Amino acid sequence: MTQTRPALLECNDLWKVYGHNPEGFVKAYAGSPSAEDLQAHHMVGAVRKANVKIYEGEIFVIMGLSGSGKSTLVRCLSRLIQPTAGELIFDGQDILSKSDKQLIEIRRKRMGMVFQHFALLPHLTVLQNAAFPLEVQGMPRAKREERAREVIELVGLKGRENYYPAQLSGGQQQRVGIARSLAVEPDLWFLDEPFSALDPLIRREMQDEFLRLQGMLKKTIVFITHDFDEAIRLADRIAVMRDGEIVQVARPEELVLNPADDYVSEFTRYIPRAKVLTLRSIMRPGAVDGTAAGTLSVTDRVESIADEVERSDTDFNIADEDGRTVGHIGRREIIDVLIGRGVNA
Amino acid sequence: MSVLDQDLKTPIRLRSLTWLRAPWLFWGGLLILTWAVSHYAFDIYRALDARWIIRFPATWQPDFESRITAFMDWLLHDAQLFGILFRDVTRAISAVIEAPYDLVVDVLVTGLQQGIGQQAVQILPPLSWVAVIFTVTAVGHYTKSWSMAVLMGLCFTYLAVFGQWESAMLTLASVLIAVPIAAGGGLLLGVLAFRVRWVDRAMRPILDLMQTVPVFAYLVPILFMFGFGPVSALVATIIYAMPPMIRVTIVALRGVPEELAELGRMVGCTRRQQMWKVLVPSAKPMLMVGVNQVIMLTLNMVIIASMIGAGGLGYDVLTALRRLDIGGGVEAGLAIVVLAIALDRLSQAYAGRTVTQKAAQSQGGFAMRHRWSLSIIAVILVTGLIGAAASWLQTYPDALVINTGQIWENAIGYINVNYFDTLDAAKTFLLTWFLLPVRQFFVGIPWPWGLMAMTLIGLRVGGWKLSLLVFVLTGLIVLSGLWDKAMMTVYLCGASVVIASAIGIPLGLLAASNPVSNRIVGAFIDTLQTLPSFVYLIPVVMLFRVGDFSAMIAIVAYALAPAVRYAAHGIRSIDPQIIEAGIVSGCTRGQLMRRIKLPMILPELLLGLNQTIMLALSMLVITALVGTRDLGQEVYIALTRANTGQGIVAGLSVAFIAIIADRLLEAAAKRMRKQMGMA
Ligand SMILES: Nc1ncnc2c1ncn2[C@@H]1O[C@H](COP(=O)(O)OP(=O)(O)OP(=O)(O)O)[C@@H](O)[C@H]1O
Ligand SMILES: [Mg+2]
């Protein structure tokens, strides 16, 4: 279904190599040096031959261990850094060939970014921080502050407009960061580990907040995290990176059910299946014989309906997106998932 | 048999080699040889009948002095670039500096006048003393707190009550002009270096050089280009105070978190917005530290600047020193100290302003937010108006001035009468047993040997490149015929540095040993550093008369701080695990210090020594006032005679000594670090 929507951002064979004369190096190896080639020449392949399509309105999560190249990839996608080789297409236009001026224009109007360590300007108040992207564009003061107040209210910081960042808690600071990135109403929203610097309770709260905002705004989002829990909570699709390479791009469920290799399955090993699997992948075909206890959706996650199914003595029907009954499910299937029986991986 | 031979031979050969390379052999040998040569130089000359050995023949000298003088004359009168006379450039610079300076002097000291000289009519009075004190108090409260306000008020009231008002305001005026230009210029150059690669590369060696070149290397050329007067003084001050600001700016901009820079680009900042809206404001706390440094350096320069035409407190001290007027000197000196403390605390408080303060100050309506500026304007207007009638409000009444000059005079007189013998005995002891022998040693070294020894040291410490540099610089000093004076300089600084280290390093170790002593020593050192250099000279001269001994004490007092600081810092930065390892292996406290701590902080101590030497050298032109006979005196004479050639040559010679010392010590520290695996 997502595949039918147009891709907002697309990169093909994207490379980012650090070291001496990286362009020449990549060219010398016909555009795709191997890991051994890189190592032999003391080059760091921070992003290696990345191919990604990000569709309008989806939450695309990039995850991987520390140093796997997530930040570098995102910085290439937003062109904060210049890729060594490859193609980058934003909204149908080749963005690598844009001049600095055009790039500034694109960033001002169409992109927003939230940073891991908030990147708030210490000398500006909450209001001024949120209004900063608009100030840079030369919007008159009254107008930009009005807009800033809107986004501040949106992230739940009303009443703290005149605080300075140092007077806020980490969670509140990141709310300001989010408000600021929303002020320009970006089409494409980058978030680089936005919640990693927060402690677990606040992180969870911020994730809920984020989902609430996305429910309202429906942005196209590139979200980085190294936390798989976070990834499956938020993602429509996940890209797993290792040593600069994208190992697999898939929906969370597929990642668990069909990991591309050991690295990916290692990632997903300790994730409770119930959190990831939807009824689509565990239902038995056909409707219930006799009376069903109720109807569930194919997109429901096991975790969210486990209680209900377990309590009931009879099975449930399962309907697809169009409301047609496509299968059924009972206590046994749920228990299988919960104790990890019969599910591969 | 042969195998056994081999086994025996190798270690012996190795051992004999290391023995030859042993440091003590090189340094000890060099010292003994030098001593012998120095001692018997005269006899050698007699025996060989070669007078050139002890005195570099005048006929061999290329006469740098008159050539430089001629060049400077040409520069000032005929030189032009793109059709613009060099003279016009200096005039333009003068005008740019002079106009605001005159304005500030008008406001603070003379009042706005029409006409020139005798016929001048005052149109507007200067700010009254009450208004100035109120203003600084308000600023104190605005930047920090009521206690800051009280401190500021007290400091400035002191200036009025003790009769230093006018001079102090003159000095303040030059600070008010020099600091913004030096800080602003430093910021701009720093920004440029940060942004443009080649500017950075070109600037780095110049900054390094500026750090080692003592002020007076450029005093004379400035005097020559801008003439005697406040402009010259301001130019010298600005040149002196700007380099640290450039450095701080570059470091501060580099230190801005990468994320903030990315934020700027992500929201679509242009290059200019990126710099002035993101990077510079984010770096502001650190930049303010730089501004504080600029202020302190500016105050440090007041007396030296008064040698080329600055008025104010520095000039008062200078004339007092020249006349050996104890009371006047101490009074003006203390006033500088008071001013320095006030400005230092104020700028530090400003740098340390918290956001809570800022937030609190931006609350409320217009009158509330601007209550201080409004009240300042009100006070200025009121005192100005009433002051026209009541002169006590305009200028602090002379009748109420407390004169402390006599008290100081009496105090020094009392000490001199009652403790003369003790003081004199101490002085004589140090002179006969330390200063004179050291002086004989250095002054006796004939130039050929000196040149060779320095080159050898360079080779040993840093390899042939360094050795070449040392050879060339030393050679230039020899060629300019200033070898004897240079050796006097080395002796005076050397002796002072030895004593400063002997006092400073133990103090530093003490400071690092526990928090209480750290606080006490820290406060002591902070005060020493806040005081402008020459202040030390006044009491010393009063007690010990003019001469090398007084000069030495002043230099020691001034150059003490870095020795303490680096020693303390070195000890503190030792990995505690290493100390614990020492304790576990059963070291006594003494052993811990001698076997572990001292060797480990040796590189740090060398850097401290380096700084100490630089400060000592920068004191030279001031100690020239007490009748030394070194290169500082040479510069001082050149200043009074406005002899550019002589001034530049002598100034550069000091700079060369500084550079040689700096490079040698840096190389030595680097070597040691490497040996200890810390590089
Ligand atoms: N400027 C640079 N020069 C050289 N190597 C770099 C540079 N920036 C990143 N790298 C290397 O690229 C690799 C990927 O770094 P990156 O910051 O993208 O990782 P990451 O996945 O974001 O890690 P983290 O989770 O720690 O943020 C790392 O090996 C890093 O050392
Ligand atoms: Mg990262």
The amino acid sitting at A308 is E
Residues within 5 Å of ion ligand 2 by Cβ? Answer: A 71
Residue B360: CB atoms within 10 A of its CB come to 10
HEC per residue, A108-123: HHHEEEECCCCCCCCC
Nearest CA in chain B to A78: B266
B266/A137 touch (CB, cutoff 8 Å), yes or no: no
In B574-643, which ranges are continuous DSSP H helix? Answer: 576-584, 589-591, 598-623, 631-641
Contact B455/B467 with Cβ under 8 angstroms?
yes
CATH says B419-442+482-573+608-675 is which class? Answer: mainly alpha
User: Closest partner residue to A117 among B257, B267, B358, by Cβ?
Assistant: B257
B266/A112 touch (CB, cutoff 8 Å), yes or no: yes
Contact B67/B645 with Cβ under 8 angstroms?
yes
Paired with A12 in beta bridges are: A87
User: Could you report the per-residue pLDDT of B598-648, keeping only the tens digit for each?
Assistant: 888 887 788 788 888 888 888 887 788 777 788 888 888 887 887 888 888
The pLDDT assigned to A145 comes to 92
Query: What is the C-alpha to C-alpha distance for residues B292 and B346, in angstroms, rounded to an integer?
Result: 9
Q: Does A137 touch chain B (CB under 8 A)?
A: yes
Q: Which CATH number, 3.40.50.150, 1.20.1630.10, 3.90.1280.20, 2.30.29.30, labels domain A274-338?
A: 3.90.1280.20
Ligand 1 center to B5 CA (angstroms): 58
Paired with B81 in beta bridges are: B84
The pLDDT assigned to B524 comes to 79
Those of residues 143-162 in A touching chain B at CB distance below 8 A are 162
Query: Residue B591 burial (CB < 10 Å; 0-12/13-18/19+)?
Result: middle
Q: Does B576 touch chain A (CB under 8 A)?
A: no
What is the best residue among A17, A18, A196, A227 to mutate for testing ligand 1's pocket, by most ligand atoms within 8 Å of CB? A18
The arithmetic mean of pLDDT across residues A154-171, rounded, is 87
Residue A301 per-residue DSSP state: B
Domain boundaries defined on chain B = 124-161+354-400, 419-442+482-573+608-675
pLDDT reading at B253 higher than 80? yes
Top mean-pLDDT range of A76-85, B157-166, B316-325, B379-388:
A76-85
pLDDT reading at B212 higher than 50? yes
**Set of chain A residues whose Cβ sits within 8 Å of the Cβ of B269:** 104, 136
Greatest Cα pair distance in chain A: 71
B282/A122 touch (CB, cutoff 8 Å), yes or no: yes
Q: Which CATH number, 3.20.20.70, 3.10.105.10, 3.40.50.300, 3.30.420.40, labels domain A53-272?
A: 3.40.50.300
The arithmetic mean of pLDDT across residues B183-191, rounded, is 93
pLDDT reading at B10 higher than 60? no
> What SS3 class is residue B54?
coil
**Set of chain A residues whose Cβ sits within 8 Å of the Cβ of B278:** 121
Q: Which residues contact ligand 1 via a Cβ below 6 A? A: A 18, 44, 46, 64, 66-72, 226
H or E stretch covering B533: none
The pLDDT assigned to B663 comes to 86
Nearest CA in chain B to A113: B266
pLDDT reading at B188 higher than 90? yes
How many C-alpha atoms does B458 have within 13 Å on its Cβ side?
22
Closest Cα partner for B136 from B353, B341, B388? Answer: B341
Q: Does A111 touch chain B (CB under 8 A)?
A: yes
Q: For atom 26 of ligand 1, which residue has the closest CA?
A: A66
Mutation target among A115, A185, A190 for the B interface, most CBs of B within 10 A: A115
| Lowest model confidence (mean pLDDT) among A4-18, A175-189, B618-632 | B618-632
Those of residues 326-355 in B touching chain A at CB distance below 8 A are 354-355
Query: What is the C-alpha to C-alpha distance for residues B446 and B424, in angstroms, rounded to an integer?
Result: 33
Contact A219/A187 with Cβ under 8 angstroms?
yes
Higher pLDDT, B165 or B55: B165
**Set of chain B residues whose Cβ sits within 8 Å of the Cβ of A81:** none
The whole-angstrom distance between B349's CA and the closest CA on chain A is 17
Q: How many residues does chain B have?
A: 679
Contact A318/A328 with Cβ under 8 angstroms?
yes
Query: Average per-residue pLDDT in chain B?
Result: 80
Burial B131-146 (b: 16+ CB within 10 A, else e): bbbbbbbbbbbbbbee
pLDDT-derived band at A19, boundaries 50, 70, 90: confident
Q: Which ligand is located closest to the Cα atom of residue A68?
A: 1
Q: Does B272 touch chain A (CB under 8 A)?
A: no
pLDDT reading at A146 higher than 70? yes
Higher pLDDT, B217 or B13: B217
Extract the tokens encoding B154. 């007290």
**Set of chain A residues whose Cβ sits within 8 Å of the Cβ of B286:** none
User: Could you report the per-residue pLDDT of A276-303, keeping only the tens digit for each?
Assistant: 888 888 888 888 888 888 888 888 888 8
Ligand 2 center to B417 CA (angstroms): 75
The pLDDT assigned to A2 comes to 46
DSSP B178-230: HHHHHHHHHHHHHHHHHH-HHHHHHHHHHHHHHHHS-GGGTHHHHHHHH-SSH
Contact A124/A132 with Cβ under 8 angstroms?
yes
Domain boundaries defined on chain A = 53-272, 274-338
User: Could you report the per-residue pLDDT of B541-589, keeping only the tens digit for each?
Assistant: 777 777 888 888 888 888 888 888 888 888 877 777 777 787 887 788 7
Query: Average per-residue pLDDT in chain A?
Result: 86
User: Could you report the per-residue pLDDT of B528-537, keeping only the tens digit for each?
Assistant: 766 666 667 7
A121/B358 touch (CB, cutoff 8 Å), yes or no: no
| Residue whose tokens read 């890209």 | A239
| Lowest model confidence (mean pLDDT) among A142-151, A235-244, B21-30, B427-436 | B21-30
